[in-house]
Amino acid sequence: MFHRLFLSSVVAGTLSLSLSASSIENLAEELVKLRAEVERLHEDVDTEKESFKMKFKSLQMQKTELEANIRREETRIQNLKLNLDKAKEENTKRVEDSQNLQPLALETIEDLKGTLRQTLPFKVKERESAIKDLESLILSNAIAPESALNKIWSFIEDEISLTKTNTIHKQTIHIDGEDKLVDVAKIGMMMLFFKTNEDKTGYLKPDRSGYSYAKNEDEEKLILNLFDSIKKGIRTGYFQIPNKLNTGRNH
């Protein structure tokens, strides 16, 4: 009887030790898996951090370029104002005979023509036509030089207002060898984007040598979102757009 009890105790102890060893082995395997998962998550976090840093750096560069372009536009506006101030000053110095103001008005118009050639190609025909019509009126003596100078100032004010607004208009552009009537979104007088009736999007090339379609799906989405925001009249907030700054170089 005693031998049987002793044998049973030995067997039970052996089984218990076997089960404990098996459990420890399973726990060790689980621990290895958990460590591997933690390492993978660390790698994912590091990857996301690096991606965020790159995006932030890119946005900072775009911000710097935009600020530089804004400063250039502000300088252009200031020059326009200086031209008008110059015209007013010379107006007081010239002979009272109003006809002596005609050369000054024509000189100012020539300056404006040069300015138009250097700005964003937005409604170029309409803007050039307005200044040419005024020139014709002056040359034909159909308008007094004083009135001509007032109209020139109104034209300059319109040019200044273009630099302060983001708007959408219909405009014909030349792309891929053909003229297309498209919607154009004007960002001040710095950038120009377009959208066709088929919802194809694109932009004026930074060197203003022509137009280009969006290079990838991301650019296309950003441009479509820009059109949607302007149409909804959204005036404040953060807008991400492709960086296609007008460099100010001639065609």
The pLDDT score that the predictor gives to residue 10 is 44
> Which helix H or strand E contains 181, and what residues bound it?
strand 178-187
Whether the per-residue pLDDT at 13 is higher than 70: the answer is: no
C-alpha 242 chain-centroid distance: 5
Whether the per-residue pLDDT at 40 is higher than 70: the answer is: yes
Average pLDDT over residues 96-117: 83
Whether the per-residue pLDDT at 235 is higher than 70: the answer is: no
Looking at per-residue pLDDT, the higher value among 226 and 96 belongs to 226
Asked if 226 contacts 195 with a C-beta cutoff of 8 angstroms, the reply is no
Candidates 145, 149, 200; CA nearest to 173 is 200
The pLDDT score that the predictor gives to residue 244 is 61
Structure token digits, residue 130: 């307005």
Question: How large a percentage of the chain has pLDDT more than 70?
Answer: 81
Query: pLDDT digit string (tens) for 117-171?
Result: 888 888 888 999 999 999 999 999 898 888 888 999 999 999 888 888 888 999 9
Looking at per-residue pLDDT, the higher value among 17 and 242 belongs to 242
Asked if 232 contacts 250 with a C-beta cutoff of 8 angstroms, the reply is no
Average pLDDT over residues 1-23: 50
- The 3-state DSSP class for residue 229 equals helix
The pLDDT score that the predictor gives to residue 157 is 92
Q: Which long-range contacts (CB under 8 A, 24 or more apart) does 222-227 make?
A: 223/185, 223/193, 223/195, 224/195, 224/199, 226/185, 226/193, 227/168, 227/183, 227/185, 227/193, 227/195, 227/201
Neighbours of 229 (CB within 10 A): 16
Asked if 171 contacts 181 with a C-beta cutoff of 8 angstroms, the reply is yes
Instruction: Choose the most confident range, by mean pLDDT, from 13-17, 126-130, 174-178, 220-224.
Output: 126-130
Whether the per-residue pLDDT at 241 is higher than 50: the answer is: yes
Asked if 166 contacts 184 with a C-beta cutoff of 8 angstroms, the reply is no
Separation CA 176–CA 80 (nearest Å): 35
Separation CA 190–CA 119 (nearest Å): 9
